[in-house]
A = this chain, B = another copy of it.
Amino acid sequence: MPWRLLSTDADFEREFVALLGAKREQSADVDAAVRAIVARVRAEGDEAVIALTQQFDRLELTPATMRVTEAEIDAAYEETEPATLDALRLAHERIAAHHRRQMPKDDRYTDAAGVELGSRWTAVESVGLYVPGGMASYPSSVLMNAVPAKVAGVARIAMVVPAMRGALNPLVLAAAKIAGVSEIYRIGGAQAVAALAYGTETIAPVAKIVGPGNAFVAAAKRQVFGHVGIDMIAGPSEILVIADGENDPDWIAADLLSQAEHDTAAQSILITDDSGFADAVAAAVERQLKTLSRAETAAASWAEHGAIIVVPQLDDAAPLSDRIAPEHLELAVEDPEALFSRLRNAGAVFLGRHTPEVIGDYVGGSNHVLPTARSARFSSGLSVLDFVKRTSILKLGPDQLRELGPAAIELARVEGLDAHGRSVAIRLNL
């Protein structure tokens, strides 16, 4: 049974805090194992990657066969059904169009004192893209990670994807081809992350690594962070639907299940001002669950982490939503814009009754890599900004140095930094 909370109950606050704090993920302690793998790949390069791939993926590789060939990629693309290719191309086009608007602009100006200031943005030179194997090997995620990098101007995107016993998902290769991924290697796990971070004889190192993965991949990303950049560590999916009683309960039930089916640790929450509607959605979820191919996963997620919260009026949903800070937020209400203007913390918002969250997973154009586990309080979804960096610019002439210099010298003095002061004073003959 999912959680059921009534915001007017005396112990609502306690229950809500318990819901917020409930641990959904078992964090396996793989740090030591991953540390050993990273050290080995760093020391032995290709040889270590090949041995570990044999051990974990049951696949024999050589330095020459590590990389997926152009012919293999083309073959995967050719064998993809036209309807699927069309859908991938539509998604690609829409994601690219949206992300092009995110490109930050350089800024260069001269202020009243005559000082030239500015910010210049440049692309990260090379990016590694991790794609999981097995059930979570999604072509849509390839697009969502690779397209912002391409739009940013990243010259080299090196993708890694584990091939258990040699098997690769052809759709992942097709998506990589559509997205313009430069290189693909059939390796995975912590060894692939280490190879991307430190390089091997076959794989040149990258400057940043993005993409989802299991506990080993997440631990490896944390460990190489600093030497290379990483994106966020993604947790299990979440959706919060705020809905009034005017919705079709079956629509909302389907939306809740669309996240629940991802993972037993996923979380789907409904907030509504209509207790009867809440009951109807709960019943619809039970009905729809039965027909899902991932029924077991979805049922476990819904029973353990699902929640229905009834509030006296929809306005009461806003502060609760901000505390949940959901990855995905659907506003299936009469005036979604008004409600949205009162909200602050959400990775992505889906406005109105005709915008199921799933559109954002695939073809809306916005990114589906979004902050989970309440991190929308302080972070954002993946964007072009994750693949560029900024250099700040200062340029003074002798006049400007004469004007600003004394204040710098004074602050260096009180901070006890003699050479700081001198580097200014010496230019002013002070």
Contacts and interface: CB of A to CB of B under 8 A. Distances in A.
A391 B321 CA distance: 13
Contact of A391 (B86, B251, B349): B349
A257 to B, nearest CB: 4
A98 interface: yes
A423 interface: yes
A294 B412 CA distance: 13
Contacts of A116: 351
B389 A380 contact: yes
Copies of this chain, how many?
A: 2
Contacts of A159: none
A90 interface: yes
Nearest to A121: B380
A383 B119 CA distance: 11
A172 to B, nearest CB: 10
A336 B391 CA distance: 15
Given A404-B364, A424-B359, A378 B124 contact: yes
Interface residues of A, number: 120
A408 B358 contact: yes
A186 interface: no
A159 to B, nearest CB: 18
Nearest to A337: B395
Nearest to A406: B87
Interface in A313-363: 336, 340, 344-352, 354-363
A358 B291 contact: no
Interface stretch (A2-10, A54-62, A133-141, A274-282): A133-141
A139 B415 contact: yes
Contact of A393 (B348, B420, B424): B348
A391 B346 contact: yes
Nearest to A208: B378
B424 A356 contact: yes
Interface string A63-92: 000000000000000000001101110110
A101 B91 contact: no
Interface string A126-145: 00000000010011100000
A419 B298 contact: yes
A381 to B, nearest CB: 6
A367 B351 contact: no
A84 B258 CA distance: 60
Nearest to A380: B390
10 contacts: A86-B410, A125-B377, A139-B415, A207-B378, A208-B378, A261-B420, A363-B411, A366-B394, A377-B389, A385-B385
Given A87-B406, A229-B379, A357-B423, 8 more contacts: A84-B410, A87-B408, A102-B119, A135-B416, A171-B414, A351-B395, A366-B392, A376-B391
Listed from nearest, the 9 A-B pairs whose CB atoms lie closest are A229-B378, A257-B419, A351-B395, A254-B423, A87-B407, A366-B392, A380-B390, A87-B410, A356-B423
